[in-house]
Amino acid sequence: MAPVKKSSSKTTPRSARAPRKRASRSERVRASRAPPNIAPKEPVVYNSPYAYAYAVADPAVSPFTFDNIMVATTSEDTAVSFLLRHGLLASSKTCEYCDYPMNLCVYKRGTEDEDRRWRCRRSGHPDKELSLKKGSFFDGTKRAYRTVLRLMFFWASDIPVGTAEQFLGISDVTAIDWYGFCRDICSADMLQCSMMIGGVGHTQHEDYWLFGGVDRATGRWFGIVTGPDRKKKTLSPLIGKHIMAGSTIISDQFSSYVSVNGKHTLENNKWLKGKNYTHKWVNHDKFFVDPKTGGHTNRIKGTWEVRVKRYIKAMRGVPKERLDQYLDMYLWKSWYFNGTVPKCQYLDGLVQGIRKHYPV
């Protein structure tokens, strides 16, 4: 019998292979719930900094105040009525077999397993059923509608996850997941926002690591989490993308912005030709406010400190892989609302965002 020829290729022992990183439960759940209406196209650029803002109701007549949400979540029936009224659940369904309207049926009413389903039992075709949650923001969850609606309110009100967990008697995983789903709506909205700030007569302040700028005139800002590469050829295109031509930019004396001798600046940067920026900078090794120009970066430093870093500290840190999501949440509040607004208006905007990305 002819000897068997052994393969010369070596097999890497299992113990020597790099372990596969397993995604967390929250990451897997969020990946399966990505809003279906995010178009992979360039965001629309508006001339007005207020063009993206949601039209939200005045607190005096808003249906999203604390009192109104508590009334709406008295029972599953009231919660479902509220969600139907505001377009977060489909108010009707047509049977795919007979083209007649389907009936909304309630199963196991009053129990933890209470469920609502669209059903058609007309003769001539098989019974057809669809979950009321199908295709909605609530698709795939068994959690009660009233619980999720309260979680949405708590998220919009900046109530910590641990407090929401205690108020509702739910697990920390459930609270974390739903807070993440709300932030996903912010991320979906920010994908459709150009974050273009500035213009002639407007002054921007630059910072890096959390790379971004804030418009002194409007208070609008943009932010991007940068990697270890913060070279001029990497950051310059971002400046050109998010800051309008003719703007005045104030930065520190970071080498990607200005050379040590001051010869090369954002005004003559080859990646920013035609932008006609006016560039001022502050040497923080010597002073915080430039004595000649009066330039300082306190505005952008304050933006990071107040809007991002304090929240991260209150959360006792944020995993680096989720920093983009938290940044999107603060950018969303800056771009989709006119300044600081009452908490009920953030819930109003969240509901409008859900309707946009989860049409039913």
Q: What is the 3-state secondary structure (H, E, C) of 122-147?
A: CCCCCCEEEECCCCCCCCCCCCCHHH
Percent of the chain with pLDDT over 90: 40
Give Cβ neighbours of residue 112 (< 8 Å, ≥ 6 apart). Answer: 144
Task: Output the pLDDT for position 287.
Answer: 57
How many residues are recorded in the chain?
Answer: 360
30-39, 137-146, 262-271: least confidently modelled range: 30-39
Task: Output the pLDDT for position 6.
Answer: 42
Q: Would you say residue 241 has pLDDT above 50? A: yes
DSSP character at residue 64: T
Q: Which of 18-22, 146-150, 215-219, 294-298 has the largest mean confidence?
A: 146-150
Task: Output the pLDDT for position 2.
Answer: 47
57-66, 173-182, 183-192, 246-255: least confidently modelled range: 246-255
| Confidence bin at 16 (pLDDT 50/70/90) | very low
The arrangement of secondary structure in 203-335, i.e. its CATH architecture, is 2-Layer Sandwich (3.30)
219: left (phi over 0), alpha (psi -120 to 50) or beta: left
Decide the pairing of beta strands 210-215 and 221-225: antiparallel
This prediction's pTM: 0.72
Residue spans in the chain of domains classed CATH 3.30.420.10: 203-335
Q: Which residue has the tokens 């020829």?
A: 5
| Confidence bin at 352 (pLDDT 50/70/90) | very high
Q: Which of 26-35, 54-63, 204-213 has the largest mean confidence?
A: 54-63
Average pLDDT across the chain, whole number: 79
| Confidence bin at 11 (pLDDT 50/70/90) | very low
Q: Which residue has the tokens 């009707």?
A: 92
Pick the more confident residue, 86 or 310: 86
Closest to 221 measured CA to CA, from 49, 43, 53, 345:
49
Mean pLDDT of 82-88: 97
Q: Would you say residue 198 has pLDDT above 80? A: no
Task: Output the pLDDT for position 331.
Answer: 85
Task: Output the pLDDT for position 79.
Answer: 96
Mean pLDDT of 61-82: 97
Task: Output the pLDDT for position 324.
Answer: 76
Q: Answer yes or no: are the C-beta atoms of 120 and 98 closer than 8 Å.
A: yes
Q: Would you say residue 337 has pLDDT above 80? A: yes
Q: Would you say residue 299 has pLDDT above 60? A: no
Task: Output the pLDDT for position 254.
Answer: 78
Q: Would you say residue 269 has pLDDT above 60? A: yes
User: 33: which 2 tokens?
Assistant: 């719930």
Q: Would you say residue 13 has pLDDT above 60? A: no
